[in-house]
């Protein structure tokens, strides 16, 4: 027994050193830095001053406007689209469902930087194929004006992630035993009723997990707006991550940026923890 | 009638998800002035060839450099991260030891800490030890793979213990068991984690953006975003075809990986339905 204890550490030592140096150490170092004021290489102790400044900075909280919009508008739209499309693929009424699934899933293979770039171009007044089309029927739009930017983001995020969500929802649907929906049919339910009253309720756990994933993801949006900023004006606090980045690399205040990153990290961690709780039961089974 | 309705919905959705791919490809056949017309149809094959050669010869062929850098970062990082995850997962799955439960929960907890919270202190750390703007700055953070360890533990658990016990009786030591018997048994999980790591690093913009300064060390997507930031400047609109063509070749390896390894990469929520 004693011999076995040491053998486990033989395998754990390298991965644990990696985690200690590149995950745990930066976190503690970050907390340490957050108690200092800084200008260039000069640093001085300021206690909780940075925390108070971040928490009372309207421009920090302004960055949460986009994630909240994404969460309240984009995520529901995306999940509804994903559920409807997977129900159709699962209905067995169309040929080649896995071909369509591949089509829907393909955007997931595109780096978010590139999808931000491509959609940015397709919406820019210079290159857009849609603008001339709309002009022909008398509509003049500037997709990249500040008012429509959230909708541009909504579109990009939906394009990127609907397929990923769909694949997970569809595979949950496939795991529902066929007898359940057949029994419903015998009881006189039509396909639509079976989908709405039998299948959708069984998606509850999957949808909950996907929703938590989306919260975590939307709080960290960074790449797409950075790409859009090459072709239009994006405010430096368009998202919380952009606020953090610009504090550090546009204004050079690394300790202040670290503080705002810690606060953002805590907010994200709370949502992730919720996910941890969800998967806790399963984890218990796996560590016996 | 109903079937046609469902078919139409699926076709509209397919067009929406495919369109940007189509747009990139047809745009690669256009020069800047043709791009500005905003039409939906391809122009000429010779323009396509000229765009490709313009992209790969941009700034004395730096695009090649970026491409190779991305390959290096993604393969090295993917391999290191997956190997770390295999080691850790093996330990958690195969051995009983003091503090195992606490350690596992801690690791799972750390996998929930978002990258944004640790990346700026990591930047300051790397600055202090002069690792900024080196290949190492992108590669060595992959030694920490918390979520991978969790996933790999699940995979190792699926391997029957008897196989290891039998090897043990035959006198193989633990390290040999891990390499010669264990790893081949979790080969498909190893490939899955490697591919996910590869793709994750290929797409990791934030880390490269803050760690790298010299453009000859950039990965592809940082290079692309760098050209994109020039596009707003006067007289730079001739760069549009370079960026669009460059985007295509930055996606191509990933699309190929997806089609070749689709069965390894289909996402799963383990045990979401009981």
Q: Model confidence over B169-224: pLDDT tens digits?
A: 887 888 888 998 889 989 989 999 999 999 999 999 999 999 999 999 999 999 99
User: Does residue B130 sit at the A interface (CB-CB below 8 Å)?
Assistant: no
Q: Give a yes or no: residue A159 inside a domain.
A: yes
pLDDT at residue A78 tops 80: yes
Residues in A closer than 8 angstroms to B123, CB to CB, are 248, 254
Q: Model confidence over A119-134: pLDDT tens digits?
A: 999 999 888 989 888 8
Residue A286 pLDDT = 54
CB atoms within 10 A of CB B266: 15
Task: Work out the percent of chain A whose per-residue pLDDT is above 70.
Answer: 94
Angstrom distance (rounded) from CA B86 to CA B89: 5
Report phi then psi at A41, rounded to 5: -85, -10
pLDDT at residue B81 tops 50: yes
Question: What DSSP character marks residue B200?
Answer: H
Residues in A closer than 8 angstroms to B270, CB to CB, are 282
Q: Give a yes or no: residue A28 inside a domain.
A: no
Find the CB nearest A265 among B116, B232, B272. B116
pLDDT at residue B3 tops 90: no
Do A206 and A183 share a structural domain?
A: yes
User: Does residue A162 sit at the B interface (CB-CB below 8 Å)?
Assistant: yes
DSSP assignments along A35-100, one per residue: TEEEETTEEEE-TTHHHHHHHT-HHHHHTTHHHHHIIIIIHHHHHHHHHHHHHHHHTT-SS-HHHH
User: Does residue A251 sit at the B interface (CB-CB below 8 Å)?
Assistant: no
Confidence of residue B49 (pLDDT cuts 50, 70, 90): very high
Average pLDDT on A149-177 reads 93
pLDDT at residue A5 tops 80: no
Do A54 and A153 share a structural domain?
A: no
Choose the final residue of a domain: A214, A235, A256.
A235
Q: Give a yes or no: residue A285 inside a domain.
A: yes
Residues in A closer than 8 angstroms to B7, CB to CB, are 94
Number of domains in chain B: 1
CA B271 to chain centre: 25
Q: Which residue has the higher pLDDT, B218 or B106?
A: B218
Residue B191 pLDDT = 92
pTM above 0.80, yes or no: yes
Do A113 and A210 share a structural domain?
A: yes
Average pLDDT on A8-29 reads 94
- In this structure, of A92-96, B134-138, B166-170, the range with the lowest mean pLDDT score is B166-170
Choose the final residue of a domain: A200, A219, A235.
A235
Residue B269 pLDDT = 62
pLDDT at residue A279 tops 90: no
Confidence of residue B163 (pLDDT cuts 50, 70, 90): confident
User: Does residue B12 sit at the A interface (CB-CB below 8 Å)?
Assistant: no
| Residue A217: both structure tokens together | 């993801």
Q: Degrees (nearest 5) of the Cα angle B239, B244, B250?
A: 120
CA separation (Å) from A70 to A52, A219, B208? 27, 9, 26
pLDDT at residue A34 tops 60: yes
Q: In which region does residue B34 sit, left (phi positive, over 0), alpha (psi from -120 to 50) or beta (all else)?
A: alpha
Residues in A closer than 8 angstroms to B167, CB to CB, are none
Do A190 and A251 share a structural domain?
A: no
Q: Degrees (nearest 5) of the Cα angle B220, B151, A172?
A: 95
Do A227 and A84 share a structural domain?
A: yes
Report phi then psi at A177, rounded to 5: -60, 135
Shortest distance, CA B170 to any CA of chain A (angstroms) = 17
- In this structure, of A56-65, A236-245, B181-190, B212-221, the range with the lowest mean pLDDT score is B181-190
Test the B interface: residue of A1, A7, A17, A19 with most B CBs within 10 Å: A19
SS3 A190: coil
| Residue A43: both structure tokens together | 């640093």
User: Does residue B45 sit at the A interface (CB-CB below 8 Å)?
Assistant: no
Shortest distance, CA B4 to any CA of chain A (angstroms) = 9
A residues 1-60 closer than 8 Å to B (CB): 4-5, 7-12, 14-19, 21-27, 29-30, 33
Sorted by sequence, the CB contacts under 8 Å of residue A191 that are 6+ apart come out as A91, A93
State which residues form the domain around A127.
Answer: 65-235
Number of domains in chain A: 2
Letter string b/e over residues A91-112, b meaning 16 or more CB atoms within 10 A of that residue's CB = beebeebeebbbbbbbbbbbbb
Do A148 and A52 share a structural domain?
A: no
Residue A288 pLDDT = 46
Residue A37 bridge partners (DSSP)? A44
Residue B130 pLDDT = 95
Average pLDDT on B132-156 reads 93
Q: Give a yes or no: residue A6 inside a domain.
A: no
Q: Give a yes or no: residue A151 inside a domain.
A: yes
pLDDT at residue A30 tops 90: yes
pLDDT at residue B274 tops 80: no
Q: What is the CATH number of the domain that holds B143?
A: 1.10.3720.10
State which residues form the domain around B216.
Answer: 71-220+261-265
Q: Give a yes or no: residue A120 inside a domain.
A: yes
Q: Do A94 and B109 touch (CB under 8 A)?
A: no
In 3D space, the residue among A223, A233, A217 whose CA is nearest the CA of residue A111 turns out to be A223
Sorted by sequence, the CB contacts under 8 Å of residue B214 that are 6+ apart come out as B133
Residue B2 pLDDT = 74
ipTM of the complex: 0.90
Shortest distance, CA A23 to any CA of chain B (angstroms) = 7
In 3D space, the residue among B143, B153, B256 whose CA is nearest the CA of residue B201 turns out to be B143
Confidence of residue A205 (pLDDT cuts 50, 70, 90): confident
Residue B273 pLDDT = 33
Q: What is the CATH number of the domain that holds A218?
A: 1.10.3720.10
| Range list of β-strands (E), B71-182 | none
In 3D space, the residue among B178, B173, B169 whose CA is nearest the CA of residue B90 turns out to be B178
Q: Give a yes or no: residue B246 inside a domain.
A: no
**Which residue on chain A is closest to B40 by alpha carbon?**
A129
**Which residue on chain B is closest to A112 by alpha carbon?**
B203
Residue B271 pLDDT = 39
Q: Degrees (nearest 5) of the Cα angle A207, A209, A210?
A: 60
* Contact yes or no for B139/B74 (Cβ under 8 A): no
Shortest distance, CA A221 to any CA of chain B (angstroms) = 11
Residues in B closer than 8 angstroms to A89, CB to CB, are 10
């Amino acid at each position: 027994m004693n011999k076995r204890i040491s053998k486990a550490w033989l395998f754990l030592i390298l991965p644990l050193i990696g985690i200690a140096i590149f995950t745990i150490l930066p976190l503690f170092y970050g907390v340490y830095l957050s108690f200092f004021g800084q200008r260039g290489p000069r640093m001085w102790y300021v206690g909780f001053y940075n925390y108070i400044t971040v928490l009372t900075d309207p421009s920090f909280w302004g960055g949460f406007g986009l994630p909240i919009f994404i969460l309240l508008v984009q995520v529901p739209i995306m999940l509804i689209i994903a559920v409807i499309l997977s129900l159709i693929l699962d209905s067995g009424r169309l040929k080649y469902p896995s071909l369509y699934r591949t089509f829907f899933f393909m955007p997931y293979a595109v780096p978010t930087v590139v999808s931000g770039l491509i959609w940015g171009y397709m919406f820019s007044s210079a290159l857009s194929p849609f603008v001339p089309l709309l002009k022909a029927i008398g509509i003049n739009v500037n997709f990249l004006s500040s008012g429509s930017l959230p909708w541009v983001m909504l579109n990009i995020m939906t394009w990127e992630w609907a397929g990923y969500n769909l694949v997970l929802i569809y595979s949950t649907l496939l795991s529902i035993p066929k007898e359940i929906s057949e029994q419903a049919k015998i009881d006189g339910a039509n396909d639509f009723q079976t989908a709405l009253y039998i299948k959708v309720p069984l998606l509850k756990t999957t949808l909950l997990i996907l929703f938590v994933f989306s919260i975590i993801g939307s709080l960290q949006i960074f790449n797409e707006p950075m790409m859009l900023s090459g072709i239009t004006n994006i405010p430096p606090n368009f998202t919380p991550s952009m606020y953090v980045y610009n504090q550090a690399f546009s204004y050079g205040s690394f300790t202040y940026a670290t503080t705002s990153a810690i606060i953002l990290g805590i907010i994200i961690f709370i949502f992730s923890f919720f996910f941890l709780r969800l998967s806790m039961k399963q984890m218990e089974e796996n560590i016996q | 009638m109903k079937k046609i309705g469902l078919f139409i919905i699926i076709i509209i959705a397919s067009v929406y998800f495919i369109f940007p791919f189509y747009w990139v490809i047809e745009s690669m056949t256009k020069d800047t002035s043709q791009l500005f017309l905003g039409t939906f149809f391809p122009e000429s094959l010779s323009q396509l060839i000229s765009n490709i050669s313009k992209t790969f010869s941009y700034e004395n062929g730096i695009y090649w450099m970026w491409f190779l850098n991305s390959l290096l970062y993604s393969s090295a990082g993917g391999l290191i991260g997956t190997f770390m995850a295999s080691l850790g997962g093996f330990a958690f799955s195969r051995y009983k030891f003091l503090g195992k439960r606490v350690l596992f929960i801690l690791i799972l907890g750390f996998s929930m800490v978002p990258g944004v919270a640790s990346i700026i202190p990591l930047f300051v750390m790397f600055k202090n030890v002069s690792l900024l703007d080196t290949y190492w700055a992108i590669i060595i953070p992959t030694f920490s793979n918390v979520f991978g360890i969790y996933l790999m533990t699940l995979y190792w658990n699926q391997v029957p213990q008897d196989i290891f016990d039998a090897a043990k009786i035959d006198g193989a030591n633990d390290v040999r068991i891990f390499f010669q018997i264990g790893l081949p048994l979790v080969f498909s999980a190893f490939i899955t984690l490697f591919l996910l790591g590869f793709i994750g690093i290929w797409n990791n913009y934030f880390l490269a953006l803050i760690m790298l300064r010299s453009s000859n060390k950039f990965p592809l997507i940082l290079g692309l975003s760098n050209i994109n930031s020039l596009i707003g400047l006067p007289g730079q609109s001739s760069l549009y075809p370079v960026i669009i063509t460059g985007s295509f070749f930055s996606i191509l390896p990933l699309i190929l990986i997806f089609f070749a390894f689709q069965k390894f990469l289909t996402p799963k929520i383990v045990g979401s339905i009981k």
